Structure 1
């Protein structure tokens, strides 16, 4: 079941409407339309309800699969009745939170900055979330969940965009993304790539290592020259791409039939292929990779702050986080959660060195995220336009 949920997200993760980027185009991560509300200093009585929006599979009450229900236990423990809504894109999540009708959201890095900048989410006092202490340090104090030292949420789960390859065709085993870029011609027509503008960052990660003179320090902070270099690399790659994928089932099928032999993927996809005895394997290349890290955030307009904080602590507890991230297909947020999973090793859970090689999805904005102030960076609206041009 978790594979189906991962596939549902595959068609949506990172997709942003051009208009939604405009508000961020000229601002930094700490600016917004309103001053941030103060973080809570103590908790009071539970309000009896909480409204949560999340990615598919993040708020399960047993209705989809009786074996997966972490909502009922929360309701029993806290008395907070949960109402939930699933969103399909980061843009949808941002728009829903703007209404003020929801208390809590699970935000990916391509949404969290916008929510913070617009003042739609509030600072979170992590001292009021006891399970926060056990969360992996490398997921804390990151640009997509912390601004100017202020925490805006609690990490949930994370994963890397890996290199998937056919072990019988791509030999020797690759250690670099060059197999899909500079050496893509070796398997022309059988290269695959993730179908989303955010994939431009994957090209930027490769250029960071192979064209250091470009000066790229962050794949989501590209000035015009750096951006054009990444776009040119992807246009060169385009002639060797047999298929761009967004539906994980299509990538599974393409590798099973041999129509694809190398390309970007997720660990969960390799797990499916391995379960079907496919001749494939994955690697985190030496250049590093892009990836995702999701954060639970609380609305600045919530009328149920106590139940909201209770949810953040509940979903961060080892057993619940282990169950939720396993169901979805990603690494958990704490080592203790691995006591409730059997596949943490496959997801490199807790491996800080591995995690340090991942550049987590972040919304590109005009104010360079790498700290430069002498140039403007290319915002996501232009990434979207360029992606359409790349694909032709």
Structure 2
């Protein structure tokens, strides 16, 4: 289902779709990213609250709207990134958050709680959770001259050794390579140029990676030597596996992301949903996700209580301005489909 068609569905039809499959009360169904429902803390949460957790994982922000709209399953909590939250709100798929029920709300970075992309008509629709950058990385032993530019992903000498994320943000990447830095407000001509650049790159690409684990496996098997990456995540996993990796911000800059917990509209599991969000913002949840996904977190108070001073600094928890220096994802509004269609057209060729 296209986003354009999705956006045209009436509220009444949405309600019918979402109510067509009964929720299991007391069972929290998550549509989320890898690591956001890890047994290392979910087991404890289930034991302490009596709320059972089931998770369905996504590989791209483009997955949230179609999966919620499909009517084939019902979710209670989702974690879209900042460029997708407005879409969830505008499609009436999520409901406002009662911040008074979020114990740590006052401890979160004000930069995150004041984000426009989680607000509408004076109400808050999302709870910031984790954040980070989308940078480049490479196998250190594969290069005598270190890469420094997005253009290195288009190096013909690396044919079959390149991977980029299977996500519409690849349009952002290619646009910057073309010198178009207004990546969230590209014209049709700029999107077409980014699409063409990605088509030209395609013979160099071994595979478009969809999950963190898939990218790690591509490096472990020696199939690729350079890619984009979620900052700190896959590089750390590979280093622990004995593969020397170098992560860097290209000279064209790096994007920034923020993942947001959002409550699916009319969930009967509201009590469990708030308990889960509160756990995720506690020292248990914040340090667990920092260690599992090597992501920076939204609650510096919790982070400081459970991180070593070195980790606190390494994850930029002492420097919230770091996020402001990144090209933080923005809502694409009615341009969403133009970007998504361009990326899908690249893959289809």
Q: TM-score, normalised by structure 1?
A: 0.69
8 Å Cα contact 1:203/1:234 also seen in 2: yes
Partner residue in 1 for 2:20: none
Q: 1:188 to 1:58 in 2, by over 3 A?
A: closer
State the secondary structure of the residue aligned to 2:57: coil
Native 8 Å contact 2:42 2:53 kept in 1: no
**Aligned counterpart for 2:126 among listed residues 134, 137, 153:** 153
1:264-298 Cα shifts (integer Å, max 9, x gaps): 12322111221233232101223232354221122
C-alpha displacement of 1:192 = 2.3
Structure 1 unpaired stretches of 5+: 1-17, 35-47, 76-80, 369-376
* Aligned residue in 2 for 1:11: none
- Aligned residues: CA RMSD: 3.5
> Relative to structure 1, is the Cα distance of residues 319 and 85 closer, same or farther in structure 2, using a 3 angstrom cutoff?
closer
Shift of 1:155: 0.8
* Alignment match, 1:239: 203
Matches within 5 A, 1:1-392: 18-24=1-7, 33=11, 49=26, 51-55=28-32, 56-60=34-38, 64-65=39-40, 69-72=43-46, 74-75=48-49, 81-89=50-58, 93-94=64-65, 102-109=75-82, 111-147=84-120, 150-181=123-154, 184-207=155-178, 210-211=179-180, 216-217=181-182, 219-256=183-220, 258-266=222-230, 267-303=232-268, 305-338=270-303, 339-342=305-308, 343-360=311-328, 364-366=332-334, 368=335, 379-389=338-348, 392=349
Greater share of helix: 2
| 8 A contact 2:96–2:125 mirrored in 1 | yes
Distance 1:250 1:322 in 2: 24
- Spell out structure 1 runs of 4+ moving beyond 6 A: none
Once the two structures are superposed, residues 314-351 of structure 1 have per-residue CA deviations (whole angstroms, 9 ceiling, x without a partner) of: 32123332224433442222222333245454444453
Q: Distance in 2 between matches of 1:163 and 1:291?
A: 13
Structure 2 SS opposite 1:130: coil
1:59 and 1:71 in contact (8 A); partners too: no
Change (3 A) 1:320 1:230: same
Q: Give the Cα–Cα distance (whole angstroms) in 1 for the partners of residues 187 and 229 of structure 2.
A: 27
- The 3-state SS of whatever aligns with 2:147 is coil
Contact 1:221 1:365 in 2 (8 A): no
Structure 2 gap ranges (5+): 13-24
Q: What CA distance in whole angstroms lies between the structure 2 residues aligned with 1:203 and 1:321?
A: 33
The 8 Å contact of residues 28 and 272 in structure 2, kept in 1 or not, is answered as: no
CA distance in 2: counterparts of 1:162 and 1:121, whole angstroms:
30
Q: TM-score, normalised by structure 2?
A: 0.77
CA contact (8 A) 1:314 1:320 kept: yes
Check conservation: 1:59, 1:70, Cα contact below 8 A. Answer: no
Q: How many residue pairs were aligned?
A: 328
Going from structure 1 to structure 2, the CA distance change for 1:312 and 1:248 (only over 3 Å counts) comes to closer
Q: Note the alpha carbon deviations across 1:155-208, whole angstroms, 9 max, x for none.
A: 111232221123234344333323224xx235344332223343222223444x
CA contact (8 A) 1:135 1:333 kept: yes
